[in-house]
Structure formats: structure tokens, C-alpha cells
Homo-oligomer: A and B are copies of this chain.
Amino acid sequence: MIRYNPTKRIQTALKNKDTKVLKSLCETLHPASMAGLLVDFEYDDVWNIIRGVSPQLRADIFSHLEVSMQTDVAQHISRRELATLVTYMSHDDRVDLIKRLPEDIAEKLMSALAEKERTDIRNLASYPEGTAGSVMTSEYVSLPDNITAQQAIDLIRQEASDKETIYNAYVVDGEHKLIGFATLKDLILAKPDKIIRDFMSKEMIYAYALDDQESVARTIAKYDRISIPVINEDNTLLGIVTHDDALDVIEEEYTEDIEKFMAISGSHDSDGYLATPVTTHFRNRIYWVVILAFMGIMSGVVLHHFEETLSTMMILALYLPMLMDTGGNTGSQAATVVIRSLALGDVKSKDIFLVVWKELRIALMISGILGLLAFGRVMFLSRNTVIPAGFDLVHIAWVIALSLSFQVISATLIGALLPMVVSKAKLDPAVVASPAITTLVDITGLLIYFTTATALLAV
């Protein structure tokens, strides 16, 4: 078999306007793989590549394109072409697309769609970003409770091509209220003439439309479901969230959490790093950096307060960076572990004393080792440093080491406590950004350092 470069084949076919080759490439590759190849092309080329295939396949490949590419293509094709594309897209994906289109294009598009599609889009688009409603789709299988297993399978067979998943069927009453649930496996294993009502599962695992999308994703993960139903307050079935959406949500939330924790604000949309403009990156980062700069003024004030101590005993200034770095590192470690444990549910906000007790013991062990290292470091690095008369290096080294140990303990406890307190206040623990902890323990660290030094060295 000759290995070939599919990107090159697409380029050649495009140049030669060889629509046959393009069509056959689209039909051979998985839509996701095809979309992956198209990232290197311009939007007009992308459209020329996919326009020749069946409307369903075209919509499938289109759905796998990057969001910014989708928007570009959608804005440059005719209203008729766009309407066909949208009609064949899955219901959750097309709502995401329409939300991103300029208003005039979105309106023109809506007017070109069938009444039924329009209502469906308006319904799905009405849920705020970040909710279960915003990631659900309306292409689910619903069944009445009085038909047989065989009738249900026949019904599913008829509707299969329009549904996002046919493996979970939701049983509803006359008012479309959710009353049960059967997997296709249940239906296949049941005796063909058995009535659904008699073997459907009545255990209710569902989400409300306004639930947080992350909690829905976690429910899917916990119960190993292919999809879970989304209902409103009076139990009416509105849609389903599927397992692949759960994966996307968890990826997205992960990115947002780690960025939040590293003091980067802004929500993470599907545009990649390179496609996001410099000004957006700047805006996401400057926010916290400026807050931290202002928080830093506090440590400046503390330092100025001890100006005289510093000028009499210059050697103390030489170990300021060590004190600050170590505090920041150990505090951030503790915060990371606690925030992650809270997110995974290993730790609940009521466990605050258990956490403090555990962190205290860990901190004591770490502080012992770091204290000894700090003593050795002062003795070695400062062996030639000028020391005021009446003091000796060993004494100073012990004081510095002792302050560092106190700082490790205090920073670890602050790093662990802050997210616990924030979580107790029902906020997302990840808002406690690691750099904020660093800046905060800088202030406490300086206080510890100078208090210990002035007390034990009497400067």
C-alpha cells in the first residue's frame, strides 16, 4: 500500500476542481478525521470541499469543524445553503452555531427554516450558558407506557435516523411528563409482547434544565449512563444530555478551573489559543495581575515598616526571596490538593477540621526538613556576609530557619483553609487563585519573619 498525504490530495483535487475525488475523500474518512484535516484550509476552500456530499454527511463534517471556522463558513454561504446545513445538524450543535452568528444573519436564517425547527431552536437557545439546558438536545426517543417491547423497537427503528441516541428511551405520560426509562438492551431482552410500563425502570436519574452543566456531566459519569434526561420543575421532559457532551463539558470545565486557579479570568470558548486575539488574552490576564499588584502593596507596607531592621541587619534581606518562594510553593500545594479533593467530592466543606489536622501534620514534616536546609544554606552562602557587631552567624541562621519553618506551617494552613472556607460559603473553591494565595502568604510571611527576627535577635 502506498502511503499518501490526504491534505496534499485535497489540495490537488481543489486546484483541479476534481469534485469526485473530494467527495470520495469525505465519504471514506470519519467526519471528525475529515474536519481535522480541514483546519489548515481557508473557509471558502472548506465549503468547496464539503458542499458536494450528501446534506447529512456535509452537516456531520461541518459540526466537527472548529467553532471559528463554522462561523466563517456560515457567514459566507447563501441563506438557502445555510438553512439546509442547519436543518441536518444535530439540535444542540446548531443552536451553538446560531448563537455565535451575527444577528442579521441569524435572523435571515431563522426565517428560512421550517416552523418546527424554528421553535425547537428558540426553545434550546433559551437556556443560559453553562446550564444543563444549554448542552441538551431535543433529538431523543420518547415512548408511551402502554405499548409492547416489540412495538417500541419498531417505533425506534422508524425514528432512529433522526435521534442522537436510540439506546435510551424515555417513557412519558400524556402530558409529556417523565415517568420511566428503558434501554434498548431492556427492550431487546424483554419478551416481545410485554408492556413497557411493566418492565421500565422507574429510578429517576435526571437533571433540571437550570442545573449546572458540570453537575450533569458528573451525574452521567457517576451512573455510567449514555444519556440522562433533562426535565423542568413539573417533570416535563425537555431533552437529553449525552455522554459525548459530558466529556466536552468536563474538558471545558477543567480548562476553566485550571485557568481560574492560575489567575486567568474569562470563560473559555472553543476558539483555540492561536485563534484568540492578543487583546482577549491580555484582558483575561491583566485583571488578576492588577489585583495582585494592589494586594502586593500590603507587603510593601510591611517591608517599609521594618526598613530600619533591614538596614541594620542587611543579611535578612538576602533571605527574603527564599522565605517568599517557599511560602508560595507550600501554600499553593496545599490549596491545589484541597481544591481538587473538593471538586472530586473526596472532601466536603464540613470536613474542615479533618483537613486542618491533616495539613498541620504534613506541614510539620515539611517545615522540619526545609528549616534544616535553610540553616545549611545561610551557613554556606553567607559565610562572608558582613554581620553587625555583637551577632554571630549561627544564631542568625537559626532565626532565619525558624522563621521559614513557621512560614511553611502558616502558608500550608492558609492554602488549605481558604478553599474550605470559600466552599463553605457555597462558592467555587477554584476562585482562590494560587497567585492570590502566594501574595497573601507573602504578607503573613513578612510579618512572621520580622517578628521572629526582632524578638530573637533584638534588632
Contact = CB atoms under 8 A, between A and B. Distances in A.
Interface of A: 28-30, 32, 153, 156-157, 160-161, 166-167, 184-185, 188-189, 203, 205, 220-224, 226, 243-244, 246-248, 250-251, 254-255, 258-259, 261-264, 272-275, 278-279, 281-282, 285-286, 288-290, 292-293, 296-297, 299-301, 303-304, 307, 310-311, 314, 317-322, 324-326, 328-330, 332-333, 336-338, 340-341, 344, 346-347, 351, 354-355, 358, 361-362, 365-366, 369-370, 373-374, 377, 381-382, 385-386, 434-435, 438-439, 442, 446
Given A278-B362, A317-B310, A301 B259 contact: no
B296 A337 contact: no
A274 B373 contact: no
Given A258-B340, A282-B362, A361-B278, A439 B325 contact: yes
Contact of A333 (B262, B362, B374): B262
Contacts of A292: 325-326, 329
A278 B363 CA distance: 10
B226 A243 contact: yes
Query: 3 nearest interchain CB pairs?
Result: A272-B346, A273-B341, A262-B336
Contact of A286 (B288, B310, B365, B438): B365
Given A318-B303, A325-B292, A369-B286, A344 B255 contact: yes
A167 to B, nearest CB: 5
Given A273-B346, A289-B333, 19 more contacts: A184-B184, A254-B254, A259-B340, A274-B341, A274-B351, A274-B355, A282-B366, A286-B366, A289-B366, A290-B370, A292-B325, A292-B329, A296-B322, A299-B321, A304-B385, A307-B314, A307-B318, A314-B314, A325-B439
Nearest to A186: B160
Contact of A317 (B255, B261, B317, B366): B317
A279 B362 CA distance: 7
Given A189-B160, A296-B325, A333-B262, A251 B221 contact: yes
Contacts of A223: 30, 32
A437 to B, nearest CB: 11
A167 B246 CA distance: 19
A281 B333 CA distance: 10
B293 A370 contact: yes
